[in-house]
């Protein structure tokens, strides 16, 4: 594999070593958080967050409950405002409001824990709504794209059904396909499998792993450590609103540096 290919689409096999560090300095990050601070009232939830994500990188964010993982994700597409610091997407600071913000949101796909499909619309309508409204696609083109994406996540036969007729795993795969229909530059996943019955977790993780292998830039908050080891280029460990560690999967899981990370891992890995 050439240097360029390694840089644009890092694989699960790529290690932090010199290759990745060189790539990190050589390319402009797709997402960059600098000195980000966020309070909810008197609660200081994000403390001097500095993070860069390059195109094609898969970042997995882990950490104890309440450490600020979801809040950090939500600031990246401005579902939450920040108090200070800067967040840049593709070099551009996040817009405050209006059309620019709507355009930005279209470029950042987000999949949450709960399936946020529109309950009163069919799967196909769920898929085509935003591409037609926001991307101004022709209905036929939007439907063709929708069917392609539904096929990619293995639920094309469900297109005419209502969300409630699908299993949780199928709904979550539709949610991923729906986000992809906007042709986002980056996908954010906030615990996309934690509300699923155990037997449905893998079908969603398989779709995410496939996306990662195809070179999608991804930030994933997840407790699925198998997925993290397999698909992540980097692990970010958060505790109390701070990023305490940032390392390769092997580095983080095999040699966590801080006591907080060691405690966290000993709890989740013994389950
Ligand atoms: N809208 C809000 N208003 C007030 N406090 C909030 C709000 N959202 C989150 N918090 C608080 O901010 C802190 C960080 O929450 P956040 O949801 O980002 O944590 P998390 O790491 O995602 O946790 P979990 O693993 O439980 O999902 C928590 O103390 C939480 O109670
Ligand atoms: Mg959360």
Contact call for residues 108 and 31 (beta carbons, < 8 A): no
pLDDT for 94 equals: 84
Ligand 1 binding pocket mutation candidate from 60, 64, 68 (most atoms within 8 A of CB): 68
- In CATH terms, 31-116+185-267 corresponds, of 3.30.160.20, 3.20.20.140, 3.60.15.10, 3.40.50.300, to 3.40.50.300
**Who lines ligand 1 at CB under 6 A?**
40, 43, 45, 63, 65-71
How far is ligand 2, taken at its centre, from the CA of residue 66, in Å? 7
Ligand 1 binding pocket mutation candidate from 49, 66, 244 (most atoms within 8 A of CB): 66
- Which residue's alpha carbon is nearest to atom 2 within ligand 1? 40
Which tens digits make up the pLDDT trace of 55-88? 999 999 999 999 999 999 999 988 899 999 999 9
Residue 103 above 80 pLDDT?
A: no
Share of the chain above pLDDT 70, in %: 89
Residue 28 pLDDT level (bands cut at 50, 70, 90): confident
The domain limits of the chain are: 31-116+185-267
- Which residue's alpha carbon is nearest to atom 10 within ligand 1? 40
Task: Map tokens 């405050």 to a residue.
Answer: 96
How far is ligand 1, taken at its centre, from the CA of residue 35, in Å? 19
pLDDT for 22 equals: 45
Residue 10 above 70 pLDDT?
A: no
Residue 23 pLDDT level (bands cut at 50, 70, 90): very low
Contact call for residues 187 and 109 (beta carbons, < 8 A): yes
| Position in ligand 1 atom list of the atom nearest CA 221 | 22
pLDDT for 54 equals: 96
Residue 236 above 70 pLDDT?
A: yes
| Position in ligand 1 atom list of the atom nearest CA 41 | 4
- Which residue's alpha carbon is nearest to atom 29 within ligand 1? 66
Residue 270 above 70 pLDDT?
A: no
How far is ligand 1, taken at its centre, from the CA of residue 47, in Å? 13
Which tens digits make up the pLDDT trace of 180-227? 999 999 999 999 999 898 889 999 999 999 999 999 999 999 999 999
The rounded distance, in Å, linking the Cα atoms of 126 and 164 is 13
Residue 248 pLDDT level (bands cut at 50, 70, 90): very high
Q: What are the phi and psi torsion angles at 165 (to 5°)?
A: -85, -5
- Which residue's alpha carbon is nearest to atom 17 within ligand 1? 70
Ligand having the closest approach to the CA of 190: 2
pTM: predicted TM-score of the whole model, two decimal places: 0.88
- Which residue's alpha carbon is nearest to atom 28 within ligand 1? 66
- Which residue's alpha carbon is nearest to atom 9 within ligand 1? 71
Tell me the torsion sign for CA atoms 180, 182, 185, 191.
negative
Contact call for residues 91 and 65 (beta carbons, < 8 A): no
């Amino acid at each position: 594999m050439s240097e360029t290919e390694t840089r644009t689409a890092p694989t699960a096999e790529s290690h932090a070593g010199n290759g990745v560090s060189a790539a990190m300095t050589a390319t402009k990050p797709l997402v960059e958080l600098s000195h980000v601070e966020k309070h909810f009232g008197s609660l200081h939830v994000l403390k001097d967050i500095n993070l860069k994500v390059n195109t094609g990188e898969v970042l997995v964010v882990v950490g104890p409950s309440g450490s600020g993982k979801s809040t950090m994700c939500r600031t990246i597409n401005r579902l939450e405002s920040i108090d200070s610091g800067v967040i840049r997407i593709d070099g551009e600071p996040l817009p405050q409001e209006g059309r620019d913000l709507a355009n930005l949101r279209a470029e950042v796909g987000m999949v949450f824990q709960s399936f946020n499909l529109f309950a009163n619309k069919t799967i196909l309508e769920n898929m085509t709504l935003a591409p037609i409204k926001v991307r101004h696609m022709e209905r036929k083109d939007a439907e063709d794209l929708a069917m392609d994406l539904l096929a990619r996540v293995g639920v094309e036969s469900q297109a005419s059904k209502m969300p409630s007729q699908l299993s949780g795993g199928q709904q979550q795969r539709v949610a991923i396909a729906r986000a992809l229909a906007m042709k986002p530059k980056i996908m954010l996943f906030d615990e996309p499998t934690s509300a699923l019955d155990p037997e449905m977790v893998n079908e969603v993780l398989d779709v995410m792993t496939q996306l990662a292998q195809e070179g999608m830039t991804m930030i994933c908050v997840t407790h699925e450590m198998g997925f993290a080891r397999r698909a992540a280029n980097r692990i970010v460990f958060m505790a109390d609103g701070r990023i305490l560690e940032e390392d390769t999967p092997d580095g983080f899981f095999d040699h966590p540096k801080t006591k907080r990370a060691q405690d966290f891992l000993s709890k989740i890995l013994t389950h």
